Structure 1
Amino acid sequence: MVYVLDLMPCDRDLEIKLTLNVVFRSSTNMKGQRAKNWVNWRIIECPKQSGSVECGYYVLRYMYEICTLYYEFEDLERAFARSKPYTKNEIDGIREIWAKYFCEECL
């Protein structure tokens, strides 16, 4: 299963799909068996940004949620059911984390 986390969903063809399908079909599992089917692709609805400049912070915020809140979830579609925009406080929180660890002049 491959989950596509797309902040700006539209009807597009992902160029990497064919390559990943081939990789998954040619690799083997722990028992030495090859996959019999193509990869199942699922598009996950993500929070959508309200402006046009905070996309990087949206991606960081979403990755933060995956790593801190959803790392034990088995049903990622249910876990990622949020589609409304992040609040200013949520985006500011990720800005602070980014600045603290990676870029002090970003604040």
Structure 2
Amino acid sequence: MTLQEQLVALLGPLAPGGISPSVAIQNVTFPYLVYRRMPTHVENVLDPGGNPPADNTIFEISCWARTYPDAVNLAAAVTQAMLGWSVPNIKRMGDHDLEEADVKCFRVVQEYSIWVPA
């Protein structure tokens, strides 16, 4: 199972509208999640134990809701799930709030860094 498939399985149940890559599905139910895989790199590990290189995957996760408190609560649930994920080496990099006036909703954007063997 790819890292993206694992992410969808982990976070999808948290939001009635589910989770989708890059853009929301048309006419999706609020609240919902959208994720993007950000540009990443491979880190060559020079370990005498022969460890392989590691991929650093950064996911940007947007928590969309009709109200600000709902967006914040969804973001808190995402944080709890991400930090409890069985994938090792997850770091929460930060988050910020946005008001989307044109669609009359709120969004909390979070970033997570995940290191896995290449």
The structure carrying a bigger helix percent of its residues is: 1
TM-score normalised by L of structure 2: 0.27
The structure carrying a bigger strand percent of its residues is: 2
Larger radius of gyration: 1
